[in-house]
C-alpha cells in the first residue's frame, strides 16, 4: 500500500520514470508598456460657491431668480422692502440742508464780524476808537469764525450720515458679487420665499460655478506619494456609465485627516457641456507610474517556489518547462511586469501546481487549435 502511494507521489512530481506530462495552459510573454493604476471613489463639488445674503434686515419683497437659473456677476437677485431705508435717506437729506443753511448763516455772520473789525482798525488809526472797542470786535470775529468751523463739521457729519443711509438703502438690493471670476454660474439652492422677514446675513440663494467642476477624492499614504499637481485623472459616473471624463489634479492637501488617515485630493474637471453636477458620485482612475517596453506576463502565471517568485517557461519544443526566478513589478489588472533572465516564448498560467524545473508538460489541445 505504502509503495503504491509513494509511486503516485513520484509520478505527480515528475520523478518517476513513466511520469505523465502535466496538462497546462500557457500564454505568451510580451514586451509592452504597463502602468500602475489606482481607482478611487469620490464626489463632485462646485468649483466655486457664492451665497447671496442681505447685509440688512427686512422683508423679502422680490426674488428674481430661481433654481437652475443662470446668473451673471453683479446681477440683482433679490430686493428687500426699502420703504424704511428710503425714509432714512430723506431724513438725512433734510439734515444736510439744515446744516448747509446753518453754515451759510455762520459764514455770513463771520463776514460781518470781519468787516466790523476792519472798521474798528480804521477808526483806531485816526484815534477815534479805543483799544477796548477793538478787543470786543476781535473777540466777536473769532467767535464767528469758530461758528463757521462748527457748521462745517456738522455738515460733514450729516453728509456722512446721508451716505450711510444711501448705502443701507443699496443693501436692500442683493447682488451676485462673487469677485472677479466671470465664469458661468447657476442657482443651486433657494432658501427663502418672498414675504419672509429675514435678518442681516441670512442666506437667500446659493449660486455655484459648474465649469470647471471639482472632483474630490481621498487617498491613503500608500498612494499619496505617487500623486502630483497636474496629473491626469479619468472619471466615470453612474449617470453616464459609457462616457469618460478627464481632469487634472489641481490641489493636494498637505495633511492627513487623523480619523481616516487619508488626504484630500481635488481634481479639476472640464464640464463645458454641464453634464456633471455637484453631489454626483464618481470613480476616478489615476496612473501613479508607467514604464515602456518591459516584459509583461499574465498575473496568474506568477508562482512561488521555496520562498521565491518565478515563472514556468515553456521549452521551444513545447514538451517541458523550466523554472525562472523573477522580480515582480507593476501590476495592471491581470497583467504583471516581471524582471528576470530567459523570459521569452510561452509561460504557464494554469496547472503549475504540479510542476518543477524540467517537468514534462502537455499543452491544452484547445489552446493549440487557436
Starting at the edge strand found earlier in the chain, the sheet holding 58-63 runs: 173-175, 76-80, 58-63, 197-198
The gap from C-alpha 50 to its chain's centroid, in whole angstroms, comes to 14
Measured CA to CA, the distance from residue 128 to residue 145 in angstroms comes to 26
The pLDDT of residue 95 is above 90: yes
| Domain covering 19-35+292-368, topology | 2.40.420
Identify the residue with better confidence: 27 or 134: 27
- Give the domain ranges of the chain: 19-35+292-368, 38-46+210-290, 48-79+173-207, 83-170
Name the H helices within the chain: 2-12, 83-125, 131-170, 221-224, 365-368
The pLDDT of residue 179 is above 80: no
Just give the CATH number of 38-46+210-290: 2.40.30.170
Name the H helices within 171-232: 221-224
List pLDDT tens digits, range 98-155.
Answer: 999 999 988 888 888 888 878 877 777 777 667 777 778 788 888 888 888 999 999 9
The pLDDT confidence band at residue 156, using thresholds 50, 70 and 90, is: very high
Identify the residue with better confidence: 131 or 249: 249
pLDDT in the model for residue 290: 82
Cis peptide preceding 40, ω within 30 of 0: no
DSSP state of 167: H
The pLDDT of residue 24 is above 60: yes
| Rounded-to-10 torsion of CA 148, 153, 159, 160 | 170
Average pLDDT over residues 75-87: 93
- Domain at 48-79+173-207: CATH architecture: Beta Barrel (2.40)
Average pLDDT over residues 233-249: 93
List pLDDT tens digits, range 189-210.
Answer: 999 999 999 999 999 999 998 8
Query: What percent of the chain clears pLDDT 70, i.e. is strictly above it?
Result: 91
The gap from C-alpha 8 to its chain's centroid, in whole angstroms, comes to 66
Measured CA to CA, the distance from residue 60 to residue 80 in angstroms comes to 4
Amino acid at each position: 500500500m505504502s509503495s503504491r502511494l509513494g509511486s503516485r507521489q513520484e509520478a505527480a512530481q515528475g520523478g518517476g520514470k513513466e511520469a505523465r506530462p502535466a496538462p497546462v495552459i500557457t500564454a505568451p510573454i510580451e514586451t509592452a508598456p504597463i502602468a500602475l493604476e489606482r481607482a478611487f471613489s469620490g464626489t463632485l463639488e462646485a468649483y466655486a460657491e457664492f451665497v447671496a445674503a442681505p447685509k440688512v434686515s427686512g422683508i423679502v419683497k422680490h426674488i428674481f431668480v430661481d433654481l437652475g437659473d443662470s446668473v451673471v456677476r453683479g446681477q440683482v437677485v433679490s430686493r428687500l422692502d426699502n420703504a424704511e431705508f428710503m425714509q432714512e435717506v430723506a431724513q438725512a437729506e433734510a439734515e444736510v440742508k439744515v446744516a448747509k443753511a446753518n453754515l451759510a448763516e455762520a459764514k455770513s455772520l463771520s463776514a460781518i464780524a470781519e468787516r466790523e473789525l476792519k472798521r474798528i482798525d480804521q477808526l483806531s488809526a485816526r484815534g477815534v476808537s479805543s483799544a477796548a472797542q477793538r478787543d470786543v470786535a476781535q473777540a466777536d470775529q473769532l467767535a464767528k469764525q469758530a461758528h463757521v468751523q462748527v457748521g462745517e463739521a456738522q455738515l460733514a457729519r450729516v453728509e456722512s450720515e446721508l451716505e450711510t443711509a444711501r448705502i443701507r438703502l443699496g443693501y436692500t438690493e442683493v447682488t451676485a458679487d462673487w469677485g472677479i471670476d466671470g465664469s458661468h454660474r447657476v442657482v443651486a439652492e433657494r432658501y427663502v420665499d418672498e414675504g419672509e422677514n429675514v435678518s442681516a446675513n441670512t442666506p437667500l440663494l446659493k449660486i455655484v460655478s459648474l465649469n470647471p467642476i471639482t472632483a474630490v477624492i481621498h487617498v491613503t499614504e500608500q498612494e499619496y506619494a505617487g500623486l502630483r499637481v497636474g496629473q491626469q485623472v479619468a472619471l466615470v459616473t453612474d449617470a453616464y456609465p459609457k462616457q469618460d471624463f478627464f481632469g487634472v489634479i489641481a490641489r493636494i492637501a498637505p495633511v492627513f485627516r487623523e480619523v481616516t488617515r487619508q488626504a484630500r485630493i481635488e481634481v479639476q474637471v472640464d464640464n463645458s457641456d454641464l453634464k456633471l453636477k455637484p453631489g454626483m458620485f464618481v470613480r476616478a482612475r489615476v496612473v501613479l507610474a508607467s514604464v515602456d517596453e518591459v516584459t509583461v506576463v499574465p498575473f496568474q502565471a506568477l508562482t512561488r517556489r521555496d520562498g521565491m517568485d518565478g515563472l514556468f517557461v515553456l521549452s521551444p519544443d513545447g514538451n517541458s518547462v523550466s523554472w525562472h526566478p523573477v522580480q515582480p513589478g507593476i501590476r495592471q489588472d491581470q497583467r504583471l511586469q516581471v524582471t528576470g533572465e530567459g523570459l521569452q516564448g510561452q509561460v504557464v498560467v494554469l496547472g503549475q501546481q504540479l510542476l518543477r524545473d524540467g517537468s514534462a508538460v502537455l499543452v491544452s489541445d484547445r489552446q493549440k487549435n487557436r
